[in-house]
Copies of this chain bind each other. A is one copy, B any other.
Amino acid sequence: VDESMLRRGESTANAVWGNAPSVLVGDFLLGKAFQMLALDGSIDVLRVLSDTSAIITEGEVKQLMQVSDVTTTRETYLDIIESKTAALFVAACEVGAMVADRNEQERAALRDFGRYLGVAFQIVDDALDYAASQESLGKTVGDDFREKKVTLPLILAYEQGNAEDREFWRRVIKHDQTDTDLHHAIALMGKGNILKQTFEVAQSYAQRGAECLDVFADGQEKQALIELLEFSVNRPY
């Protein structure tokens, strides 16, 4: 749906096969997933995951409605990424606690951990769209910019920019872009330390995620979750 040609270093299904097979096979995988869930037989897990699939797709629709709106607030942005990304992380973490029959305190802790992890992960993703080199990112750089998605780096740059910078952001997000605009956008991000600030926001979510794990005893499982947090905010791609 974002019309990207590359994902994780490979051509997207849409680029290789076109729209119809990509949409239909996507629907098939969604149906197949629910089939497997229903076969497994836990109605509680099924409820969590069907709620989640509705929340995620709703988040994608909300994001679409904010496209081209350069005045998108940080609160709206966070609401969108909690739905479209963090909800999946929350479900993955919560279902782990459910199938392992852990108590409600631990289940809530893992749910919170998943939310902070997911938000941190998505913020870094949005920063990398302006920061990463195309080779290491494995997807096209500047996709969000070209699609006029208003992500955290852009919100910070717009908030902190001077009159001329704001005029630039308004034009490229609300109206037309030229070939050199992405280059200028990246330069503005560097000049204002915007990406550094963005990574710091992600880091603060990762920190809160780590605190959620305090209810668990130390051990290799807890260590693995902490490493996952650290990777999410330090990854080069």
Contact present for A1 and B24 (CB under 8 Å): yes
Q: Give the distance to chain B from A235, nearest Cβ to Cβ, in Å.
A: 26
Contact present for A47 and B38 (CB under 8 Å): yes
Q: Is the interface of A mostly helix, strand, loop or mixed?
A: helix
Q: From known contacts A1-B20, A19-B1, A64-B24, infer whether A31 and B43 are also in contact, taking CB-CB under 8 Å.
A: no
- A193: interface (CB < 8 Å): no
The one of B24, B34, B46, B61 that contacts A24, using a Cβ cutoff of 8 Å: B61
Contact present for B53 and A31 (CB under 8 Å): yes
- Interface residues as binary, A121-163 with B (CB distance below 8 Å gives 1, 0 otherwise): 0000000000000000000000000000000000000000000
Contact present for A1 and B23 (CB under 8 Å): yes
Contact present for A43 and B35 (CB under 8 Å): no
Chain A, range 25-70, C-beta contacts under 8 Å to B: 25-28, 30-32, 34-35, 37-39, 41, 43, 46-47, 50-51, 53-58, 60-61, 64
Chain B, Cβ-Cβ closest to A42 = B43
Chain B, Cβ-Cβ closest to A147 = B20
Chain B, Cβ-Cβ closest to A67 = B20
10 further interface pairs, Cβ-Cβ under 8 Å (given A21-B61, A32-B54): A19-B19, A23-B23, A25-B57, A28-B54, A31-B50, A34-B34, A34-B53, A35-B51, A43-B43, A46-B46
In the assembled complex, 30 residue pairs joining A and B whose CB atoms fall closer than 8 Å, in A order, are: A1-B23, A2-B20, A19-B19, A20-B64, A21-B61, A23-B23, A23-B26, A24-B57, A24-B61, A24-B64, A25-B61, A27-B30, A27-B60, A28-B57, A28-B60, A30-B53, A30-B57, A31-B53, A31-B57, A32-B54, A34-B46, A34-B54, A35-B50, A35-B51, A35-B53, A35-B54, A38-B47, A38-B50, A39-B47, A43-B43
Q: Which residues of A are in contact with B by a Cβ distance under 8 Å?
A: 1-3, 19-21, 23-28, 30-32, 34-35, 37-39, 41, 43, 46-47, 50-51, 53-58, 60-61, 64
